Amino acid sequence: MTGPAIAPAGSGASERYEAVIGIEIHCQLKTASKMFCGCSTEIDGAAPNSHCCPVCLGLPGVLPTINKTAVEYVIATGFAIEATVAATTRWDRKNYFYPDLPKGYQISQYQLPLAANGRLTFDTSAGRFTVRVRRAHLEEDTGRLIHDELDGRRVSLIDFNRSGMPLMEIVTEPDIRTAEQARRYAEELRLLMRTIGASDAEMENGQMRVEANVSIRPRGREAFGTRVEVKNMNSMRAVERAISFEIERQAAEIDAGGTIRMETRGWEDGSQSTYHMRPKEEENDYRYFPEPDLPPLLTTPEWLAEIRARLPELPAARRARYRDAFGLSAYDAGVLVNDAAATALFEGALAAGRGVPVKLLANWVTGEYMRLAKEDARGGSADPAELAALVKLVADGAISGTNAKEVLADHFSSGRPVASIVESGGFRQISDAGALRAVIDEVLAANPAAVADYRSGRAAAVAFLVGQVMKATRGQANAAMVQTFLRERLDNVE
Ligand code: ADP
Ligand code: MG
Ligand code: ZN
């Protein structure tokens, strides 16, 4: 018997079935040394096995030491997601056999995670959504297997540089119902990690790994279906696509009379589909037991208070402040806060440019700046103080919006100061009424036909005349003033 055909996306599965999704995220924590030893975490591009010691190689007779900063990052994350932070926590051994795991177990946290029962709220295209976070705990990473060819033979090599790197695992309740909600959750968590400084959370290089547990059930039924774990998504887009694909695949399987197996599937960007990797391990396969080499960890109220006090302004609070204090729309506040570089530019420009109009500044950051940053491939940037200066020129009518865009593009790529670009490019706007009226009189005298057109009822002739004034001033005339003065002359003069 052949398998059922895969239903094309949008086959209507979502009308008959509801998806149930839980997300597990691993983030590499931004510490200087590894989780239980003094080895440096600067392993990018390092020679294989150059950042190892007896502890992270799992040699007999060594003892682990807890990395305090890693613990603090997880506690800070716990506070940020309104979780309960444990007063006392414990370490457990998660046992399994795999060549990239030198000790034959990972030190992790099983029964007493550092943080539990949190929540994360974020906006989606269908409105605000809250996901309950079951737990956030600390563990250590494994080494890395490299499958290669050596003297014509296929070999598997092991690099233990990653072994013992600090990882935070964050697990949600199965609250998520759509692929978009899942992507948005992962994006919001990534933003939170970067805001706290706990992790750079780049998916492309594995600093953030998102795994989705996906099941479906007929709409109206309460019991969950069998779940499939999907991994290997290397971008937020891939997270959304992989989950959508998996929902459709499961619906097609069930519609064809099949059943869903507990399994781990991998996302493949090339074919935009998931494939079977392995059957899912049962939980008790890991034979968890308390780590005998580490004492329970006590988190004193003083320590917790200190960590809480160090928390920066979090994304949700920042969006609310941008709306309430600056009058930005919810949409603009979201766009601004969701992009860390844009937020830094906005905050920096506010601090640098006393009296810069906030809403106009926000428009320039979310509009022109973000457009330039998105198109940019050569690492251009905008200086906050320079942007503040430019926005002030626009607000004062000293430079037109159109010219300001050119000035920003120049500054973005060349780094030259705004003032010198404006002067050397002749971008300063002419807002002097006398000067503008003189140019207008010249243009009217030179274009009697257009003037006659306008007076015989062709209002569109104004646009032509405005264009002539702009041309005569090389685009520097204040367009709004030109409009007003032109109409005054045309309507009042015989
Ligand atoms: P495991 O031990 O395999 O990691 P967990 O019970 O820790 O399993 O759950 C892992 C994730 O799977 C959690 O995010 C949880 O919310 C989610 N999950 C559990 N059951 C289901 C289900 N039936 N469908 C979708 N997700 C589920
Ligand atoms: Mg798990
Ligand atoms: Zn080490």
**Could you tell me the distance, in angstroms and rounded to a whole number, from the CA of residue 85 to the centre of ligand 3?**
28
The pTM assigned to this predicted structure is 0.85
Given the CA of residue 225, which atom of ligand 1 is nearest to it? Answer: 23
What is the reported pLDDT for 1? 38
What is the reported pLDDT for 284? 62
In the chain, where the domains are located: 13-36+68-139+167-298, 321-425, 433-491
Question: Which protein residue has the closest C-alpha to ligand 1 atom 15?
Answer: 22
**Could you tell me the distance, in angstroms and rounded to a whole number, from the CA of residue 333 to the centre of ligand 1?**
33
The percent of residues above 70 in pLDDT, for the chain, comes to 97
| Inter-CA distances, 347 with 263, 270, 361, 404, Å | 46, 40, 10, 20
Ligand at minimal distance from the CA of 226 is 1
**Could you tell me the distance, in angstroms and rounded to a whole number, from the CA of residue 141 to the centre of ligand 2?**
14
Ligand at minimal distance from the CA of 139 is 2
**Could you tell me the distance, in angstroms and rounded to a whole number, from the CA of residue 229 to the centre of ligand 1?**
8
198-229 pLDDT, tens digit each: 999 999 999 999 999 999 999 999 999 999 99
Given the CA of residue 24, which atom of ligand 1 is nearest to it? Answer: 14
**Could you tell me the distance, in angstroms and rounded to a whole number, from the CA of residue 24 to the centre of ligand 2?**
7
Dist CA 349 CA 370 (whole Å): 15
Ranges of residues in the chain whose predicted pLDDT is under 50: 1-5, 7, 494
Given the CA of residue 280, which atom of ligand 1 is nearest to it? Answer: 3
Residue 473, token pair as written in the block: 């001033």
300-335 pLDDT, tens digit each: 999 999 999 999 999 999 999 999 999 999 999 999
Ligand at minimal distance from the CA of 262 is 1
Class of CATH domain 433-491: mainly alpha
What is the reported pLDDT for 283? 57
Given the CA of residue 171, which atom of ligand 1 is nearest to it? Answer: 14
253 Cβ neighbours under 8 A, 6+ residues apart: 4, 259, 260
Residue ranges around ligand 1 (CB below 6 Å): 20-24, 171-174, 213-215, 224, 227, 283
Ligand at minimal distance from the CA of 283 is 1
22 Cβ neighbours under 8 A, 6+ residues apart: 171, 172, 173, 174, 175, 176, 212, 213, 227
**Could you tell me the distance, in angstroms and rounded to a whole number, from the CA of residue 42 to the centre of ligand 2?**
27
